[in-house]
Amino acid sequence: MSDMFHYVACGLPNVWLSNGFTETVDEAGEPFFSIAEVRDLHRAIGHSLTEKESVLTGDEFRFLRTELRMSRRTLAELLGYSDEAIKKWESGENRIHKLADANLRQLFLEGQSEDGTLKALLTQIKDLEREERKLCFEETQKGWEGKVDQCA
Protein backbone atom coordinates (compact mmCIF):
# COMPACT_ATOMS: atom_id res chain seq x y z
CA MET A 1 0.00 0.00 0.00
CA SER A 2 2.97 2.31 -0.39
CA ASP A 3 1.29 4.32 -3.18
CA MET A 4 -1.91 4.63 -1.16
CA PHE A 5 -2.71 7.32 1.39
CA HIS A 6 -3.59 6.20 4.92
CA TYR A 7 -6.46 8.54 5.79
CA VAL A 8 -6.65 8.72 9.58
CA ALA A 9 -8.14 12.21 9.91
CA CYS A 10 -11.62 10.65 9.76
CA GLY A 11 -10.96 8.89 13.06
CA LEU A 12 -10.87 5.41 11.56
CA PRO A 13 -7.63 3.40 11.54
CA ASN A 14 -8.38 1.35 8.44
CA VAL A 15 -9.17 3.83 5.64
CA TRP A 16 -6.80 3.91 2.66
CA LEU A 17 -7.19 6.02 -0.49
CA SER A 18 -5.87 4.94 -3.87
CA ASN A 19 -6.61 8.33 -5.49
CA GLY A 20 -8.55 11.54 -4.95
CA PHE A 21 -5.75 13.14 -2.96
CA THR A 22 -2.72 15.24 -3.72
CA GLU A 23 0.57 15.40 -1.89
CA THR A 24 2.49 18.66 -1.68
CA VAL A 25 5.21 20.00 0.57
CA ASP A 26 4.55 22.86 3.00
CA GLU A 27 6.91 25.76 3.75
CA ALA A 28 8.77 23.69 6.36
CA GLY A 29 9.39 20.92 3.85
CA GLU A 30 6.84 18.59 5.45
CA PRO A 31 4.51 16.55 3.26
CA PHE A 32 0.97 17.89 3.11
CA PHE A 33 -2.01 15.90 1.83
CA SER A 34 -5.13 17.38 0.35
CA ILE A 35 -8.28 15.37 -0.35
CA ALA A 36 -10.75 16.23 -3.07
CA GLU A 37 -14.43 16.02 -2.15
CA VAL A 38 -14.05 15.11 1.54
CA ARG A 39 -17.84 15.14 2.08
CA ASP A 40 -18.34 12.59 -0.67
CA LEU A 41 -15.53 10.47 0.76
CA HIS A 42 -17.12 10.54 4.22
CA ARG A 43 -20.49 9.66 2.71
CA ALA A 44 -18.90 6.64 0.98
CA ILE A 45 -17.17 5.59 4.22
CA GLY A 46 -20.48 5.89 6.07
CA HIS A 47 -22.33 3.82 3.48
CA SER A 48 -19.68 1.10 3.67
CA LEU A 49 -20.09 1.04 7.46
CA THR A 50 -23.88 0.66 7.18
CA GLU A 51 -23.32 -2.43 5.01
CA LYS A 52 -20.81 -3.99 7.40
CA GLU A 53 -21.90 -7.47 8.49
CA SER A 54 -20.54 -7.29 12.05
CA VAL A 55 -21.35 -4.88 14.88
CA LEU A 56 -19.72 -1.49 14.50
CA THR A 57 -16.55 -0.73 16.40
CA GLY A 58 -16.46 2.25 18.75
CA ASP A 59 -14.54 4.30 16.17
CA GLU A 60 -17.08 3.43 13.48
CA PHE A 61 -20.00 4.26 15.78
CA ARG A 62 -18.41 7.66 16.59
CA PHE A 63 -17.76 8.30 12.87
CA LEU A 64 -21.43 7.78 11.96
CA ARG A 65 -22.61 9.88 14.93
CA THR A 66 -20.31 12.77 14.05
CA GLU A 67 -21.28 12.58 10.38
CA LEU A 68 -24.87 13.03 11.55
CA ARG A 69 -23.64 16.07 13.51
CA MET A 70 -25.13 14.70 16.71
CA SER A 71 -23.73 15.07 20.18
CA ARG A 72 -23.50 12.00 22.37
CA ARG A 73 -26.31 13.40 24.50
CA THR A 74 -28.63 13.95 21.53
CA LEU A 75 -28.03 10.47 20.15
CA ALA A 76 -28.39 8.95 23.61
CA GLU A 77 -31.76 10.64 24.12
CA LEU A 78 -32.91 9.62 20.67
CA LEU A 79 -31.92 5.96 21.16
CA GLY A 80 -33.01 5.73 24.79
CA TYR A 81 -29.56 5.28 26.35
CA SER A 82 -27.36 7.48 28.53
CA ASP A 83 -24.65 9.65 27.05
CA GLU A 84 -22.25 7.70 29.30
CA ALA A 85 -23.29 4.50 27.50
CA ILE A 86 -22.53 6.13 24.14
CA LYS A 87 -19.14 7.30 25.48
CA LYS A 88 -18.27 3.77 26.64
CA TRP A 89 -19.29 2.25 23.31
CA GLU A 90 -17.21 4.75 21.37
CA SER A 91 -14.17 4.25 23.60
CA GLY A 92 -14.44 0.46 23.26
CA GLU A 93 -15.01 0.05 26.99
CA ASN A 94 -18.38 -1.64 26.42
CA ARG A 95 -19.80 -3.61 23.51
CA ILE A 96 -22.32 -1.68 21.41
CA HIS A 97 -25.89 -2.93 21.74
CA LYS A 98 -27.11 -4.41 18.47
CA LEU A 99 -30.32 -2.37 18.43
CA ALA A 100 -28.38 0.89 18.93
CA ASP A 101 -26.00 -0.19 16.16
CA ALA A 102 -28.87 -0.91 13.76
CA ASN A 103 -30.67 2.34 14.61
CA LEU A 104 -27.55 4.44 14.09
CA ARG A 105 -26.93 2.83 10.70
CA GLN A 106 -30.50 3.56 9.66
CA LEU A 107 -30.30 7.14 10.96
CA PHE A 108 -27.17 7.67 8.87
CA LEU A 109 -28.86 6.30 5.74
CA GLU A 110 -31.94 8.44 6.34
CA GLY A 111 -29.72 11.46 6.92
CA GLN A 112 -28.24 10.95 3.47
CA SER A 113 -31.64 10.58 1.81
CA GLU A 114 -33.40 13.32 3.78
CA ASP A 115 -36.02 10.77 4.89
CA GLY A 116 -36.43 11.19 8.61
CA THR A 117 -38.96 8.44 9.29
CA LEU A 118 -36.90 6.57 11.91
CA LYS A 119 -35.66 9.76 13.55
CA ALA A 120 -39.23 11.08 13.75
CA LEU A 121 -40.42 7.81 15.28
CA LEU A 122 -37.61 7.69 17.86
CA THR A 123 -38.27 11.34 18.75
CA GLN A 124 -41.98 10.62 19.17
CA ILE A 125 -41.22 7.66 21.46
CA LYS A 126 -38.77 9.78 23.47
CA ASP A 127 -41.38 12.52 23.86
CA LEU A 128 -44.05 10.03 24.89
CA GLU A 129 -41.79 8.67 27.62
CA ARG A 130 -41.60 12.14 29.15
CA GLU A 131 -45.36 12.48 29.40
CA GLU A 132 -47.47 10.98 32.16
CA ARG A 133 -50.16 9.12 30.29
CA LYS A 134 -53.29 7.72 31.78
CA LEU A 135 -54.44 4.37 30.54
CA CYS A 136 -58.19 4.30 31.03
CA PHE A 137 -60.48 1.45 30.08
CA GLU A 138 -64.18 1.07 29.67
CA GLU A 139 -66.16 -2.12 29.64
CA THR A 140 -68.48 -2.26 26.65
CA GLN A 141 -70.73 -4.89 25.10
CA LYS A 142 -67.72 -5.87 22.94
CA GLY A 143 -65.44 -6.19 25.97
CA TRP A 144 -62.87 -3.88 27.47
CA GLU A 145 -61.71 -0.97 25.32
CA GLY A 146 -58.79 1.35 25.94
CA LYS A 147 -59.40 5.09 26.11
CA VAL A 148 -55.88 6.50 26.28
CA ASP A 149 -55.87 10.04 27.72
CA GLN A 150 -59.65 10.15 27.49
CA CYS A 151 -60.44 9.40 31.13
CA ALA A 152 -63.65 10.95 32.41
Asked if residue 30 belongs to a domain, the reply is no
Asked if residue 110 belongs to a domain, the reply is yes
Residue 100: predicted pLDDT: 96
Q: What element of type H or E holds 128?
A: helix 117-130
Asked if residue 138 belongs to a domain, the reply is no
Compute the radius of gyration of the chain from its Cα atoms: 22
Asked if residue 137 belongs to a domain, the reply is no
pTM of the entire predicted model: 0.74
The CATH number of the domain holding residue 101 is 1.10.260
Question: Which domain covers residue 48, as residue numbers?
Answer: 37-130
Residue 4: predicted pLDDT: 87
pLDDT tens-digit readout, 89-136: 999 999 999 999 999 999 899 888 755 676 666 666 666 555 666 777
Helix (H, G, I), strand (E, B) or coil at 79: helix
Asked if residue 115 belongs to a domain, the reply is yes
Asked if residue 149 belongs to a domain, the reply is no
Question: Taking 50 as the threshold, does the pLDDT of residue 1 lie above it?
Answer: no
Total tally of structural domains belonging to the chain: 1
Beta-carbon neighbour count of residue 65 at 10 Å?
A: 21
Residue 48: predicted pLDDT: 95
Asked if residue 109 belongs to a domain, the reply is yes
Question: How does residue 150 score in pLDDT terms, banded at 50, 70 and 90?
Answer: low
Query: Residues 137, 145: contact at Cβ < 8 Å?
Result: yes
Please spell the DSSP secondary structure of 38-60, one letter per residue.
Answer: HHHHHHHHHHHHHT-SSPPPHHH
pLDDT tens-digit readout, 50-96: 999 999 999 999 999 999 888 999 899 889 899 999 999 999 999 99
Question: Taking 70 as the threshold, does the pLDDT of residue 45 lie above it?
Answer: yes
Residue 110: predicted pLDDT: 87
Mean pLDDT confidence for 4-20: 92
Asked if residue 148 belongs to a domain, the reply is no
Q: What element of type H or E holds 34?
A: strand 31-35
More confident residue, 48 or 70: 48
